[in-house]
Structure 1
Amino acid sequence: MIRVLLVDDQRLVRAGLRMLCESVDDLDVVGEAADGAAAVRLAEQLRPDVVLMDLRMPGVDGTTATARILAARPSARIVVLTTFDDDEHLYPALAAGACGFLVKDATPQELLDGVRRAAAGDSPFTPAVLRRLVARAVLAERAPAAPAAPPPNLTAREAEVLALVGAGLSNPEVAARLGLGVTTVKTHVANLMTKTGSANRVQLAVYAAGR
């Protein structure tokens, strides 16, 4: 059973998320918070596996709450629920340690799958959000800078996986596209992160876009 904490300042949004999560057998909503301060307190008390985190809230915002939760419980998995005008909040939330970003108009199945993927150690991203993050990062990296390090020596399979990660595909989607097992894809992604010095999936996607 995946323990989920809902964090959003809109009661109606929390109610909808609760109904959705409770419509399946493997998710259990253990608590709700209307602001970041309450989210930090409840995360410590309830120890959820996954936190669905809004960003723009009164008082303590979602980015600050994410950093505080992960400082106390590094194993927590925090998935940001974002709107399409949240660009200025996405990078700070990523830097704070959020493991994924889903848009609030995602389909119910996409949201449920995102929670499950986060609990399993994957990084769920709505493809459109990932593309925007990557595009913004690539533009920033095109500014004058020191010469880049030599590209790592990738195998042909690693290069294929890297290209699909850069396109925003999840591990199961990469596995299906290449005819591999999900565990094998996870191994390739982990090796790619090590070889490219990427701390997370977004950085790996940015690297892929800049190749």
Structure 2
Amino acid sequence: MTDPVVTVMVVDDHPMWRDGVSRDLAEAGFDVVATADGVRTAADRAAATQPQVVLMDMQLTDGNGAEATAAVLEAAGAANVLVLSASSERDDVLEAVKAGASGYLVKSASADELIAAVRATADGQAVFTPGLAGLVLGEYRRMSTVPADDGPPLPTLTERETEVLRLVAKGLTARQIGTRLGLSHRTVENHVQSTLRKLQLANRVELARYAIEQGLD
């Protein structure tokens, strides 16, 4: 049985780049269901097509990629946003992640790296250009040292969910976690999704931040 084709939307304000990336993805077996050049068109087309992965530029015709990421996730909550940008500036990266992006790749990446990143993003993994993951986790560590107001009690995780969460915080993929714990890739994914629901978090980056805040890394 073959895996279902991954649906992708490409958001970029440069037509030649947008068309080229769309063509590369289609040739690699992805189904490019929509393209867009701005925040509003991205939200509208995401709502209409419900893509699994949204490839997002940071500079758009009517705003930026962080605004578009938030709008797309509101329109298509099951989508995973992978930023593909020329910028590797700290503020751009953090702004995108805080808006809900699950990964960030710079445009100097090769076509093979991009295709692998889109596949990983569809699997729910957090994909970052080398160096940027450390930047994001470093920011979360800094934020975790800021005292938080007293809030509701934390949800209770099972021992296995806590074990998986600790390995997510270390940056391991679902397959790597499965190998380490003697579990199937699907079982690990189920634990991750269960933990996301319990903690009311959007993606693995937020999950890693939670783990760091709780001293699980």
Pick the TM interval, shorter chain: 0.7 to 0.9
Given candidates 168, 171, 187, the residue that maps to 1:168 is 171
Q: 1:173 to 1:23 in 2, by over 3 A?
A: farther
- Tell me how far apart the structure 2 counterparts of residues 30 and 77 of structure 1 sit (CA, whole Å): 14
Q: 1:169 to 1:12 in 2, by over 3 A?
A: farther
The residue that corresponds to 2:91 in the other structure is 88
The residue that corresponds to 2:22 in the other structure is 18
> How many positions carry a matched residue from both structures?
208
- Tell me how far apart the structure 2 counterparts of residues 191 and 44 of structure 1 sit (CA, whole Å): 25
1:43 pairs with 2:22: no
- Tell me how far apart the structure 2 counterparts of residues 135 and 89 of structure 1 sit (CA, whole Å): 15
Cα shift at 1:8: 1.5
Cα contact 2:58–2:92 (8 A) shared by 1: yes
Q: Determine what percentage of the aligned residue pairs are the same residue.
A: 34
The residue that corresponds to 1:8 in the other structure is 12
Q: 1:86 to 1:151 in 2, by over 3 A?
A: same
What is the TM-score when the length of structure 2 is the normalising length? 0.75
Q: Please state whether the residue corresponding to 1:105 is helix, strand or coil.
A: coil
Given candidates 30, 35, 38, the residue that maps to 1:32 is 35
- Tell me how far apart the structure 2 counterparts of residues 8 and 116 of structure 1 sit (CA, whole Å): 19
- Alignment gaps of 5+ in structure 1: none
What is the TM-score when the length of structure 1 is the normalising length? 0.77
Cα contact 1:130–1:202 (8 A) shared by 2: no
Cα contact 1:51–1:76 (8 A) shared by 2: yes
Cα shift at 1:52: 0.5
The residue that corresponds to 2:127 in the other structure is 125
